[in-house]
Chains A and B, each alone.
Chain A
Amino acid sequence: EVQLVESGGGLVQFGGSLRLSCAASGFTFSTSAMNWVRLAPGKGLEWLSAISGIRGTTYHADSVKGRFTISRDNSKNTLYLQMNSLTAEDTAVYYCAKPGPDGDWGPQYFQHWGQGTLVTVSS
């Protein structure tokens, strides 16, 4: 059974940094692309970042490019999101998500989701 468990959320001050983690199990993590998606209060789902499986190629939404960095440690089956220069607009629940098909970079529809971790940025 695929399991994704996010951690690392919390309260951070404006301009601060935070690193989120997503511990994965139940599938071959190293060969699967992974993504981060967030849900801000009163808003809709927003795709943030993706990283391919073996090659580790990264993709970021324009809204976070230059501030957020996605990475992975295949030896620890863990996905990360380093978030810098945080503002109130980054307050959200952050989800890691796994696409349906395994593979370095396949169709990115998200079959599996974690429960999310809440990030609150205070001014």
Chain B
Amino acid sequence: DIVMTQSPDSLAVSLGERATINCKSSQSVLYSSNNKNYLAWYQQKPGQPPKLLIYWASTRESGVPDRFSGSGSGTDFTLTISSLQAEDVAVYYCQHYHSTPIAFGQGTRLEIK
């Protein structure tokens, strides 16, 4: 089974500054047959369902602000928020969908400093 580990567990960033969240998988989530990384990122705010931000490690979901970007390949991935806004306060999760069982990272809580 592929285990997803995020770092840090929590993060405080000043408004307008960059926020970076890391995600590491215990095995590669890159399929060589199509050269795609089976990795997604979600944002979850209290009392709301998760919201898909990024899939295929770097493809932004429609409607997601371009301050959100995803990068990485194989086992190491990063979600970057280029200029933190107040509405970005949330918990962020990575998820692999390379194989079953599908798994999420433990989450990273992002707050305003």
**Residues of A that sit less than 8 Å from B by CB:** 35, 37, 39, 44-47, 50, 59-62, 95, 99-100, 107-111, 113-116
A113 to B40, CA, bound (A): 15
With A44-B93, A45-B93, A45-B107 given, name 10 new contacts (CB 8 A): A44-B106, A61-B101, A62-B101, A95-B49, A107-B38, A109-B40, A109-B52, A109-B56, A110-B42, A111-B61
Chain A min CB distance to B103 (Å): 6
A110 to B42, CA, bound (A): 9
A109 to B51, CA, bound (A): 11
Contact in complex: A47, B38 (CB < 8 Å) = no
Say whether B50 faces chain A, with CB atoms less than 8 Å apart. Answer: yes
- Interface SS majority for chain A: strand
A120 to B35, CA, bound (A): 42
Contact in complex: A107, B97 (CB < 8 Å) = yes
Chain B min CB distance to A81 (Å): 15
Partner of B104, one of A45, A100, A116: A45
Partner of B49, one of A44, A46, A109, A115: A115
With contacts defined as CB atoms under 8 Å apart, how many contacts are there between chain A and chain B in the complex? Answer: 61
A35 to B93, CA, bound (A): 17
Chain B residue contacts of A37, Cβ below 8 A = 50, 104
Say whether B44 faces chain A, with CB atoms less than 8 Å apart. Answer: yes
Say whether B55 faces chain A, with CB atoms less than 8 Å apart. Answer: yes
A-B contact pairs, 13 of them (CB 8 A): A44-B106, A45-B44, A45-B95, A46-B104, A50-B100, A50-B102, A61-B101, A100-B52, A100-B55, A108-B97, A109-B52, A110-B40, A113-B49
Chain A residue contacts of B49, Cβ below 8 A = 95, 113-116
The list of the 4 closest CB pairs from A to B, nearest first, reads: A113-B49, A109-B40, A44-B107, A108-B97
Contact in complex: A111, B38 (CB < 8 Å) = no
Interface centre among B44, B49, B91 (most CB of A within 10 A): B49
